[in-house]
Chain A
Amino acid sequence: MFAVFVIFLPFIMALFLPAVHRLIGDRLIGWYVMAVPLVLFATLVRLIPRIADGEVIDVSYAWIPEAGIDLAVRVDGLGMIFALLITGVGTLVALYSIYYLSPRESLGHFYVYLLLFMGAMLGVVFSDNLMLLYTFWELTSISSFLLIAFWYHRKGSRYGAQKAMLITVMGGVSMLAGFLMLYFMTGTFSISEIIGMRETLAGESLIVPAMFLILLGAFTKSVQFPFHIWLPDAMEAPTPVSAYLHSATMVKAGIYLVALFTPLFGGLDAWFWSLSIAGIVTLLWGAFNAMKQNDLKALLAYSTISQLGLIMSLLGFGSAALSADAAGDPTVYAAAGFAALFYLLNHSTFKGLLFMVIGIVDHEIGTRDIRRLGGLMSFMPVTFTFAVIGSFSMAGLPPFNGFLSKEMFFGAAVNIASGQPFAGGAEVLFPVVGWLASVFTFVYCTIIVYRTFLGPVQPEKIDRVPREAPKGMLVAPGILAALVILIFFFPNIIGKYVIGPAMPVMFPVLSQEANLVPEIEAWHGVNLPLVMTFGVIALGLLLFITFRHWKRIYRVAPFRWTMDSIYRGLLQTGEAGSTIVTDLYMTGRSRDYFAFIYVFFLVTVGGMLFLTGAFEPDFSRGPVGIFEISFVIIMAFAAIAMLFARSRITATLLNGVLGYSVAIFFVFFRAPDLALTQTVIETVTTVLFLLCFHFLPEWKPEDSPLRTKIVNGLIAIGAGTLVTAFGLTVQGYDVYSSISSYFEDSYKLAGGSNIVNAILGDFRAFDTMLEVVVLFIAGIGVYTLIALKPKKGGDDIEGK
């Protein structure tokens, strides 16, 4: 019950938000929203000791039991880390938003989307059912879309939102296909049950395709190369959103998914290589691109891409621990998984901090373009301090938490390179590439601090006088800055109580190993990772100083040929293609649409009957009366004469002849009610036609070309022939006995001796009622068309 409450509280609060907003106004609504993650965070913190003891909270309610879809919630060590991030960072972001957003913005929308996201994200990390996970997963994409497009009057916001949506939903759908494959193999949607079957699943042939499809979902969400392109455009969102969704939580959903499925797929070499290579490439490419950005937020976006790549590669390294063939001590490799989660946590602190710092600069100065900034240190000392803490932590310097996790990354990469668990040979490159990316990271961290806060002030390029941010805005980044330092000094509290419990979840086979949860040490003697850090600083400083000289490398061909241009090309081609196809059949001519309908009827119905040999026309004539046959001839002549009628009056009268003849046929065929109704209706219809002719011009002979007329004639003859052939065939069939005898009991069942009336008024009374509704709607239509004409010279709604 409790766990379900955690997921649904944000949704419930979002539901009440509009009413509360009206009640307490713009100034207090932010505090109402902030209370949600704060309460949840406090609740979750109280759970930490239980989870740290290895307890797992499982709750399940039947939702769609026929399909095996349950409202199954599972709180374990892994989900806990993410939930703490979602609620913890969520509280700080809500607090920051209160000061960041002007009351003139549509705050109601913003906070509803934010709560929607919060609930969806908590749903993702606590779901124990694949379909539930998928639902929440897509809900995060939707809320992200809404938040990116928050300033929807900007073209860039709409473009960024669409791009993020297209890419993440594409990945989500592929992930769904992967989930369905898992269901096909196991017969259950329950994640814990599927993971429990990992040994029997290992031999299935579908396991590798399912793995790749699920990875596609994770890679698109967690911006791995080449799907990273949506994140820089997503920076159009308000900065608190970027800090929350696009760095601390949502983009980590892919990381969560990979960690969740590590026990299932870990040990497969395809898993190891996909994660490691995608991660390492993303790490390098993101860091390399971050250096050239002039927009500080774009720089942070690329740095987020790079660091998500780092975490992804660490999860890849860690999965080697689950391989049966891997050489060496598995816990050595498992340490990489630990490092991944530790880095993930640290990243949320320092990157959230940096986003908030950039947000403050943007808010106070009015720009975040480093070409216009500089020398802000003396104006904004507190913000400057925060920027230094965040940047140095990101660069991997002591005494900040980033140092610890970066050292662990180096250590893990070196272990993989020396251990060669899958004997591929390419592992040797991992520490080299990782080290190079860290050098780039160092360079862009220096750029953030130096180009923004040091150097000369450029007052002519900024519109406002620089000043420190209001105190309230500094609280949230202040808490994060404090955490960055505290985690450095007391890393093992986090390691033991928050990250430790996730290790047996990710590596269930190793759960009995004593040293599964490693001790984090700030000082471990002079070893290879430390030497690598010194190298990073030395080369990083050198590259930063000489940046102007080697900047030209970005103009070299392969670096300009971006994934972005491919995306744009695909989108444009797709739109152009669909326009061509649509214009091909949506001609705007009613003649074409009718032709499509009848040709389709001919091809499918006629073709099907012909192919299956179902045409068995019954040519028996039966007795024919003289009256009947004469009316058949009258009708046939009247109908054909309509085609040649010169004036519309003639045609309408001929239609009347048809109608009255139909009435006479109803008499022949023992249907007195029909004959009466038909006579009345036919009279009224003819009057209506004649009335309309008063307002309409005399018709002209059809001016279509002869070719069109011939085609029309062929279609018409085809349709008539098919109906006749069909009718004759049906008469030959006598497969089912008639149900009509049931209605002949109408006096007993319905109290009516007129069977037709009893059917209309009793047996099928609902049909009759709906028929009346149709009449009513047509009546409203007629009334609207005639009575509600737009006044001459009045407001023209459509703006012709």
Chain B
Amino acid sequence: MEFHMTILVGILVTVAVYLLLSRNMVRIILGTAVLSHAVHLLLITMGGAGEGKVPLLRESEGPYADALPQALILTAIVISFATTALLLVLAYRTYEESGSDNMNTIRRIDRE
């Protein structure tokens, strides 16, 4: 299973990086969202995908799945949500001020 997951993570990273390198603000923000999906999957895969039982002590006797990556990912999900929200509002305000969603056009306005 880990093998397939790692290949999938590679595909997601490729797509994310390609989106990040584009000129359109919305594409860049989508790139960050895809990149965080990739990272979350990578983390949980590295923690041993699908091994053990649900880490709830009352539910079973163990051995449990690794709880530490799960805790890390939970934090990461919330933070990536916060940054996505901020980036979206930033894009909205930038468009409102500059009239463009193209990074190159915005750059030219900035330099003038």
Chain A residues near B (Cβ < 8 Å): 588-591, 594-595, 598, 618-625, 628-629, 632, 635-636, 639-640, 642-643, 648, 651-652, 655, 658-659, 662, 665-666, 668-674, 677-678, 681, 684-685, 688-689, 692-693, 695-697, 699-700, 702-704, 712-713, 715-717, 719-721, 723-724, 727-728, 730-731, 738-740, 743-744, 746-747, 753-756, 759-760, 764, 767-768, 771, 774-775, 778-779, 781-782, 785-786, 789
Q: Which of B4, B58, B70 has the most CB of A within 10 A?
A: B70
Residues A624 and B74 in contact, CB atoms below 8 Å apart = no
Best-buried of B33, B40, B103 by chain A (most CB within 10 Å): B33
CB neighbours of A704 from chain B (8 A): 22-23
Q: Tell me whether B23 and A666 are in contact (CB under 8 A).
A: no
B residues within 8 A CB of A754? 55-57
B13, B23, B83: residue with the most chain A Cβ atoms closer than 10 Å: B13
Partner among A589, A716, A785 whose Cβ is within 8 Å of the Cβ of B15: A716
A724, B9: Cβ atoms closer than 8 Å: yes
Chain A interface SS verdict (over half): helix
In the docked arrangement, what's the CA distance between A746 and B57, Å?
A: 8
**Distance to closest chain B CB from A644 (angstroms):** 11
Chain B binding surface SS class: helix
* A695 proximity list for chain B (CB < 8 A): 92, 95-96
Residue of A nearest to B75 (CB): A771
Q: Are B9 and A774 in contact (CB under 8 A)?
A: no
Q: Least Cβ distance of B109 to chain A in Å?
A: 10
Within 8 A of A (CB), among B59-102: 62, 64-68, 70-71, 73-75, 77-79, 81-86, 88-93, 95-96, 101-102
- 10 interchain residue pairs of minimum CB distance: A720-B14, A724-B10, A778-B82, A753-B57, A716-B18, A755-B67, A759-B71, A716-B17, A670-B65, A755-B55
Assess whether A671 is in contact with B21, with CB atoms less than 8 Å apart. Answer: no
A639–B57 CA distance with the chains assembled, in angstroms: 36
Tell me the complex Cα distance, A781–B18, Å.
27
Smallest beta-carbon distance B16→chain A, Å: 8
Q: Are B44 and A720 in contact (CB under 8 A)?
A: no
> B4 contacts A624, CB within 8 Å?
yes
Select the residue from A651, A778, A789 with max chain B CB neighbours within 10 A. A778
User: Is B3 touching A620 in the complex (CB atoms < 8 A)?
Assistant: yes
The interface bits of chain B over 42-63 (1 if a CB of A lies within 8 angstroms of the residue's CB, else 0) are 1011110110111111100010
Neighbouring B residues of A632 by C-beta, 8 Å? 4-5, 7-8
Cβ distance B75 to chain A, nearest Cβ, rounded Å: 5
For residue B4, which residues in chain A have a CB less than 8 angstroms away from its CB?
621, 624, 628-629, 632
Judge whether B93 and A753 touch: CB under 8 Å. Answer: no
Q: A594-B21, A674-B74 are in contact. List 14 more A-B contacts (CB 8 A).
A: A625-B1, A635-B12, A640-B11, A652-B30, A665-B5, A670-B52, A670-B64, A671-B65, A685-B33, A716-B21, A717-B14, A721-B14, A774-B79, A781-B90
Contact indicator A778/B83 (Cβ below 8 Å): yes
CB-nearest residue of chain B relative to A779? B82
Known contacts A658-B37, A728-B3, A756-B67; decide if A775 and B30 are in contact (CB<8 Å).
Answer: no
Within the complex, what minimum Cβ distance (angstroms) separates A793 from chain B?
Answer: 15
Report the separation of the CA atoms of residues A756 and B67 in the bound assembly, to the nearest whole angstrom. 6
Residue pair B10, A723 in contact (C-beta under 8 Å): yes
- With A651-B30, A670-B53, A724-B6 in contact, is A591–B79 under 8 Å at CB? no
B residues with a Cβ closer than 8 A to A are 1-28, 30, 33-34, 37-38, 40-42, 44-47, 49-50, 52-58, 62, 64-68, 70-71, 73-75, 77-79, 81-86, 88-93, 95-96, 101-104, 107, 110-111
Of chain A, the residue at the smallest CB distance from B76 is A771
Residues in chain B near residue A703, CB distance under 8 A? 23, 102
Question: Closest residue to B82 on the A side, CB-wise?
Answer: A778
A618 to B6, CA, bound (A): 11
Q: Are A778 and B86 in contact (CB under 8 A)?
A: yes
18 pairs from A and B in contact (CB 8 Å cutoff): A588-B111, A589-B104, A595-B21, A622-B3, A632-B5, A643-B18, A662-B41, A668-B49, A672-B56, A688-B84, A688-B88, A723-B42, A724-B13, A743-B67, A744-B64, A756-B67, A764-B71, A779-B82
Residues of A within 8 A of B34 (CB): 639, 642, 655, 658
In the bound assembly, the distance between CA atoms of A685 and B88 in angstroms comes to: 10
Q: Give the chain A neighbours of B49 by CB distance below 8 A.
A: 668-669
> Which residues from chain B contact A789 at a C-beta distance below 8 Å?
93
- Of A681, A688, A697, A717, the residue contacting B77 (CB under 8 A) is A681
User: Smallest CB–CB gap between B73 and chain A, Å?
Assistant: 6
Q: How far is the CB of A12 from chain B (nearest CB, A)?
A: 47
Assembly CA distance A786 to B5 (angstroms)? 40
Asked if B11 contacts A712 (CB within 8 A), the reply is no
Q: What is the CA–CA distance of A595 and B17 in the complex, to the nearest angstrom?
A: 9
Q: How far is the CA of A126 from the CA of B104 in the complex (A)?
A: 59
Chain A residues closer than 8 Å to B68, beta-carbon distance: 739-740, 743, 759
CB <8 Å contact, A727 and B9:
yes
Q: Given A589-B107, A648-B26, A712-B21, are A759 and B1 also a contact pair (CB < 8 Å)?
A: no
Task: Tell me the complex Cα distance, A595–B81, Å.
Answer: 24
A624-B1 in contact (CB<8A): yes
CB <8 Å contact, B10 and A720: yes
In the complex, which residues of chain A have a beta carbon less than 8 angstroms from the beta carbon of B70? 671, 673-674, 756
Complex CA gap A642/B34 in Å reads 10
CB within 8 Å for A696 and B95 given contacts A723-B9, A743-B67, A755-B57: yes
- Distance in angstroms between the alpha carbons of A666 and B15 in the assembled complex: 21
- Shortest CB distance B76–A (Å): 9
Q: How far is the CA of A738 from the CA of B81 in the complex (A)?
A: 29
Closest to A727 in B: B6
Contact A674 B77, CB 8 Å, known A590-B28, A624-B1:
yes
Task: Give Cα distance in the complex from A595 to B52, angstroms.
Answer: 40
Contact check, A594 vs B20: say whether CB atoms are below 8 A apart. Answer: yes
In the bound complex, do residue B23 and residue A591 qualify as a contact, i.e. CB atoms below 8 Å apart? yes
**Residue in A625, A672, A719 whose beta carbon sits within 8 Å of that of B14 in the complex:** A719
Q: Are A699 and B24 in contact (CB under 8 A)?
A: yes
Of all chain B residues, the one with the shortest Cβ separation from A767 is B75
In the complex, what residues of A have CB within 8 A of residue B17's CB? 594, 598, 715-716, 719-720
